[in-house]
Amino acid sequence: MKNKRFGVSELTLNAMFMAITIVLSLVPFLGMISIGVLSITTMHIPVIVAGIVLGWKGGLINGIFFGLASMYIAATRPVGLLDVLFVNPIVAVLPRALFGLSVGLLSDGLKRITRNNVVSSSITAVVSTLLHAVFVLSILYFVAMSSTDAAILEAMPSNVWIFLGSIASLNTALEVGIAVLIGVPVSLAIQHAQSNR
């Protein structure tokens, strides 16, 4: 009976994280905040929480859902020049699936190393957000460089490292801060609630 309860709990939590992702993607400037050339996301937080609480399967499922939601945003309300590239599932879904998987694997690995949930959750939030930036921006760069659109090609630097460094510095620092400030306490609260059942 315990396995059935865990299955229902896991299903319920996945549905909750997906519902949060839907809200973040439907409300403009809530899930994707565009300020000039910066595009800061908060949509990675449900994926981080899912990976920490549910492991790699929950992270992967919610990462794929995050990618699909970002495709929807790119198709319905693109803001920047490169946003049109996020209609491509290779740019929108693949890096988010890798991100979700990495959150779960990283969290599971850190839980084996330390019993301190605050430490393992914080490290997971920071490292996985950095990985998210690397996955998305590196795939975006190579897809953009193979584009036939002159405006996109003109906007791209000739070196992937310049591209990663210029966009990732401020963007990723803000996303890391958001992940730690919101994702860590939420995941700890859910884990605490699960352990008290």
User: pLDDT per residue over 113-164, tens digit each?
Assistant: 999 999 999 999 999 999 999 999 889 888 888 888 888 777 777 766 777 6
Q: Percentage of the chain with pLDDT > 70?
A: 92
Q: What 3-state DSSP class applies to 148?
A: coil
Cα 61 off chain centre by:
12
Q: Percentage of the chain with pLDDT > 90?
A: 64
As to burial, measured by CB atoms within 10 angstroms (0-12 exposed, 13-18 middle, 19+ buried), residue 92 is buried
Helices (H), the chain: 2-26, 44-54, 56-76, 89-92, 94-113, 117-145, 150-155, 160-178, 184-195
User: What pLDDT score does 79 carry?
Assistant: 79
The position carrying tokens 């049109």 is 84
User: What pLDDT score does 2 carry?
Assistant: 47
User: For residues 140 and 91, what is the distance between their CA atoms, to the nearest angstrom?
Assistant: 6
Please give the model's pTM, rounded to 2 decimal places: 0.90
User: What pLDDT score does 6 carry?
Assistant: 57
User: What pLDDT score does 154 carry?
Assistant: 78
Q: How would residue 29 be classed by pLDDT, with cut points 50, 70 and 90?
A: confident
User: What pLDDT score does 94 carry?
Assistant: 98
